[in-house]
């Protein structure tokens, strides 16, 4: 999977001529399909992954694998589109006259570094926009003709202890992977243990060398998207070599001053910096000529480029191992371009770009048009959806006014503890408190979630429709639940006291409870802000990250075929299996949570004043309503499983007319976001969750496993420990791990 960081698409970024040709190619009607083995060859020749093709065709990656393996055949409507794709690839990558030579098997690294001059290749100052890769098999190192750069496979202390899988095919423009880690001696460590000798001693020279010779970067994830710019990660020794300070003196703005010598060097060489300047994550570029991009991003490790909350101690790794870790993340998620939160948001746009080339029927020219299903323009939120600093709120309320539930949408994750007075004798007799944690709960909530793509429309006294995304003002205080269970309508778990704003998933779940338990309650929204243009915007994001998550877990020995007991055993020590891949896993979790959080990015900087607009508002992806919908879906998903678990452990029939359970029903004592704590007779989740003798969970309850939405063991503590925390109004779910790390800091 690491090699997929060099994937390419069929259309060069931003070239209207090639977009026109590709559009014509799409119109060729053919249902003829080549043999399965040829389908696989064509995909690999183009450097495309099965996930990319599945996303483009609106199907599952496993389906594409089955088509290539001859197990199944595509059916309409995917069949015609798949046929057109293969026909276009066949024209670009004709079958070789003889079978391609098998990929070389990597040899063990020598005891000492062996340096060899790289084979010469055509000069490549930047990837031409009118050229796509025609490389059908993985290539060795290559540098510019006449260059003195060399490459070597490292041994010794900096060698990566483990190698990620090599790609079946790479884009020749990105032959050396998505990124490199530069050390103080000029060694640039890249994918697969490759080391390039970089002669640059200044930042401008490093940028020029990277674009001319390094062959770094990654292909776009969508045919209308953009390739990822090369990333150079600077170690502390490289920082010194390039004349950069060991630490940033300006801790407020976190960037070099305009009069710093390196900033002046960049300007003299006619390169530019983005508005955020030269900080931990910097972009050095020249304005694009046509569709040709010249841009290199730099990550400065001593300045905190890799946040320890997401990456652990990755910045302390040897350069070769850090290159392996970051390359794995880049290949499976996206080339890092800032914090993991930034990567999470950028991935949404990479998978669903806002625009594409379309033909203007009036002028018969190719122009920029919207991509169906994408967020294309920035829209202001409805007043209850906006944070307090937003201009639409400032226009309605005084600056210090605290909005009530009837004035603000408060869709947040659970943070609830049960009153100790409501603990039953049976529960108090249990010796353990066992925590279970939902795998990437926000990611699972995004799966098939229909969200609004357009701006809000205000409606008075609407009829609720669960298929319409929006925010609804309604009184749910009439829905009474068992007091031992939190209310699903508030983050704190308390019962609503009157009208409040809710996202569609929350109100849909209220409707579900009313029908399931025969409650004498009628949903009557007072008003709503709805969105008429809708779609599953986050579906590609979910599929991409879910595959990345499962692949990384597989690297750590956690697979879907494990029994519940084997799964728990494997999870107990999975991080020690490969600490580097454990860092990748942590970063992926943080990418999910941070990406959702970025949908409602708050203003930053000391110069900001409430009521002013801030830069994030101009993004199509600044959508607090989508963030609210995801968190709402995650919270009600958790509550639904709590109810199903209680019903599965209740010996009699489910009561009607009220959401109430018997005294012996299994109910949680604490919740924190995606973690639930239960009293248990034993220390394992299998001691408390309703599994049968065959190892099958009760339908609809928590299920142990690796996939998003399934659960794992969060931790076990004595029950008296949990009760003591609850009496002090502390949430035991936050500390159930017992390793000194709070659950809120784990990035899920």
Instruction: Please give the Cα distance from 452 to 468 (Å, whole number).
Output: 8
* Domain membership flag for residue 592: no
* Domain membership flag for residue 217: yes
Q: State the DSSP string of 436-453.
A: EEETTHHHHHHTT--EE-
- pLDDT of the residue at 115: 34
Cross-strand pairs, 458? 529
Q: How many CB atoms lie within 10 A of CB 467?
A: 8
153 and 32 in a single domain? The answer is: no
Q: Is pLDDT above 70 for 121?
A: no
* Domain membership flag for residue 44: yes
| Sign of the dihedral defined by the CA atoms of residues 404, 406, 411, 413, in that order | positive
Report, as an integer, the average pLDDT of 379-389: 97
- pLDDT of the residue at 478: 94
Residue range 239-256, pLDDT digits in tens: 999 999 999 988 888 999
Report, as an integer, the average pLDDT of 167-191: 84
Instruction: Please give the Cα distance from 395 to 565 (Å, whole number).
Output: 57
119 and 260 in a single domain? The answer is: yes
240 and 136 in a single domain? The answer is: yes
* Domain membership flag for residue 493: no
205 and 253 in a single domain? The answer is: yes
**Spatial CA neighbour of 677 closest among 638, 707, 647, 640:** 638
DSSP state of 476: -
CA distances from 37 to 13, 41, 44, 166 (A): 29, 6, 11, 20
- pLDDT of the residue at 71: 73
198 and 245 in a single domain? The answer is: yes
* Domain membership flag for residue 671: no
**Spatial CA neighbour of 341 closest among 588, 604, 594:** 594
Query: How does residue 706 score in pLDDT terms, banded at 50, 70 and 90?
Result: very high
| 675 sits in which H/E element | strand 675-680
72 and 205 in a single domain? The answer is: no
**Spatial CA neighbour of 674 closest among 719, 727, 736:** 736
Number of domains in the chain: 2
73 and 146 in a single domain? The answer is: no
Domain boundary among the residues 96, 124, 145 is at: 96
Residue with tokens 């190698």: 163
Q: In this structure, what are the phi and psi dihedrals at residue 394, rounded to the nearest 5 degrees?
A: -60, -30
* Domain membership flag for residue 510: no
End-to-end C-alpha distance for the chain, whole angstroms: 23
Instruction: Please give the Cα distance from 623 to 107 (Å, whole number).
Output: 49
* Domain membership flag for residue 445: no
* Domain membership flag for residue 467: no
91 and 119 in a single domain? The answer is: no
CB 467 within 8 A of CB 738: no
Domain boundary among the residues 320, 338, 356 is at: 338
Mean pLDDT of the chain: 86
For residue 154, what are the contacts with CB-CB under 8 A and spacing of at least 6?
Answer: 109, 113, 160, 187, 189, 193, 195, 320
| Sign of the dihedral defined by the CA atoms of residues 553, 555, 558, 561, in that order | positive
Report, as an integer, the average pLDDT of 426-437: 97
- pLDDT of the residue at 150: 55
CB 223 within 8 A of CB 10: yes
304 and 248 in a single domain? The answer is: yes
Residue range 532-567, pLDDT digits in tens: 999 999 999 999 999 999 999 999 999 999 999 999
Query: In terms of residue numbers, what domain contains 8?
Result: 2-96
CA atoms within 13 A on the CB side of 660: 7
- pLDDT of the residue at 653: 57
Alpha helices in 242-352 (DSSP H): 261-268, 308-311, 319-332, 340-351
Residue with tokens 């529960």: 427
Q: Is pLDDT above 80 for 197?
A: yes
- pLDDT of the residue at 16: 53
- pLDDT of the residue at 19: 53
Domain boundary among the residues 96, 122, 157 is at: 96
202 and 244 in a single domain? The answer is: yes
Q: Is pLDDT above 80 for 118?
A: no
Token reading at 544: 């991409």
298 and 327 in a single domain? The answer is: yes
Instruction: Please give the Cα distance from 22 to 222 (Å, whole number).
Output: 13
Residue range 594-609, pLDDT digits in tens: 999 999 999 987 788 8
188 and 285 in a single domain? The answer is: yes
- pLDDT of the residue at 521: 93
CATH code assigned at 54: 1.10.260
CA distances from 280 to 164, 254, 273, 276, 428 (A): 27, 7, 13, 10, 51
More confident residue, 141 or 50: 50
């Amino acid at each position: 999977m690491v090699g997929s960081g060099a994937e390419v698409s069929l259309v060069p970024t931003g070239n209207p001529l090639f977009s026109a040709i590709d559009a014509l190619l799409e119109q060729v009607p053919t249902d003829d399909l080549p043999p399965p083995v040829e389908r696989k060859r064509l995909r690999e020749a183009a450097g495309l992954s099965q996930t990319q093709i599945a996303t483009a065709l609106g199907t599952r990656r496993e389906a594409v694998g089955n088509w290539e393996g001859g197990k199944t055949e595509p059916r309409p409507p995917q069949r015609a589109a798949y046929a057109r794709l293969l026909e276009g690839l066949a024209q670009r990558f004709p079958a070789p006259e003889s079978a391609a030579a098998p990929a070389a098997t990597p040899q063990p690294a020598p005891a000492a570094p062996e340096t060899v001059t790289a084979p010469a290749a055509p000069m490549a100052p930047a990837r031409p926009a009118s050229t796509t890769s025609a490389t059908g098999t993985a290539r060795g190192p290559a540098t510019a003709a006449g260059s003195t750069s060399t490459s070597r496979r490292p041994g010794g202390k900096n060698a990566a202890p483990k190698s990620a899988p090599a790609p079946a095919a790479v884009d020749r423009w990105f032959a050396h992977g998505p990124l490199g880690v530069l050390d103080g001696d000029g060694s640039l460590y890249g994918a697969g243990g490759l080391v390039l000798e970089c002669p640059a001693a200044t930042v401008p020279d490093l940028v020029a060398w990277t674009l001319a010779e390094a062959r770094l970067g990654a292909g776009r994830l969508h045919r209308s998207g953009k390739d990822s710019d090369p990333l150079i990660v600077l170690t502390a020794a490289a920082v010194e070599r390039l004349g950069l300070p060991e630490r940033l003196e300006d801790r407020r703005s976190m960037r070099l001053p305009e009069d710093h010598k390196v900033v002046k060097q960049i300007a003299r060489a006619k390169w530019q910096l983005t508005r955020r300047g030269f900080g931990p994550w910097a972009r050095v570029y020249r304005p694009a000529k046509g569709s040709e991009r010249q841009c290199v991003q730099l990550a400065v490790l001593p300045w905190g480029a890799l946040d320890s909350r997401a990456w652990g101690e990755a910045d302390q790794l040897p350069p070769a191992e850090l290159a392996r870790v970051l390359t794995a993340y880049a290949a499976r998620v996206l080339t890092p371009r800032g914090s993991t939160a930034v990567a999470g948001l950028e991935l949404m746009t990479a998978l669903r770009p806002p625009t594409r080339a379309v033909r203007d029927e009036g002028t018969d020219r190719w122009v920029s048009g919207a991509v169906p299903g994408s967020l294309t323009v920035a829209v202001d939120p409805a007043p209850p959806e906006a944070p307090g600093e937003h201009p639409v709120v400032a226009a309605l309320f005084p600056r210090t006014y605290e909005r009530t539930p009837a004035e603000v949408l408060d869709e947040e994750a659970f943070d609830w503890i049960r009153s100790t007075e409501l603990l039953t004798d049976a529960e108090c007799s249990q010796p353990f408190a066992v925590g279970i944690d939902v795998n990437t709960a926000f990611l699972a909530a995004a799966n098939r979630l229909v969200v609004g793509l357009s701006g809000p429309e205000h409606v008075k006294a609407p009829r609720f429709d669960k298929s319409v995304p929006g925010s609804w003002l309604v009184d749910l205080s009439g829905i009474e639940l068992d007091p031992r269970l939190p209310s699903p309508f508030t983050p704190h778990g308390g019962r609503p006291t009157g009208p409040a704003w809710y996202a569609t998933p929350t109100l849909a779940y209220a409707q579900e409870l009313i029908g399931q338990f025969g409650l004498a309650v009628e949903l009557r929204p007072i008003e709503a802000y709805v969105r008429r243009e809708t779609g599953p915007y986050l579906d590609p994001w979910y599929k991409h990250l879910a595959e990345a998550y499962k692949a990384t877990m597989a690297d750590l020995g956690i697979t879907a075929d494990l029994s519940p007991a084997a799964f728990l055993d494997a999870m107990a020590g999975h991080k020690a299996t490969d600490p580097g891949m454990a860092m990748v896993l942590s970063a992926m979790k943080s990418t999910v949570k941070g990406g959702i959080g970025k949908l409602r990015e708050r203003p930053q900087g000391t110069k900001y004043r409430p009521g002013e607009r801030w830069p994030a508002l101009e993004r199509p992806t600044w959508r607090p309503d989508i963030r609210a919908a995801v968190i709402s879906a995650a919270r009600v998903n958790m509550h639904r499983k709590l109810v199903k678990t209680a019903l599965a452990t209740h010996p009699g029939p489910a009561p009607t007319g009220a959401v109430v359970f018997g005294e012996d029903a299994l109910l949680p004592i604490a919740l924190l976001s995606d973690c639930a704590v239960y009293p248990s007779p034993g220390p394992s989740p299998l001691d408390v969750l309703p599994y049968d003798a065959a190892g099958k969970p009760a339908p609809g309850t928590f299920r142990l496993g690796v996939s998003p939405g399934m659960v794992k063991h969060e931790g076990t503590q004595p029950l008296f420990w949990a009760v003591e925390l609850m009496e002090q109004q502390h949430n035991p779910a936050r500390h159930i791990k017992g390793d000194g790390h709070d659950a809120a800091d784990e990035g899920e």
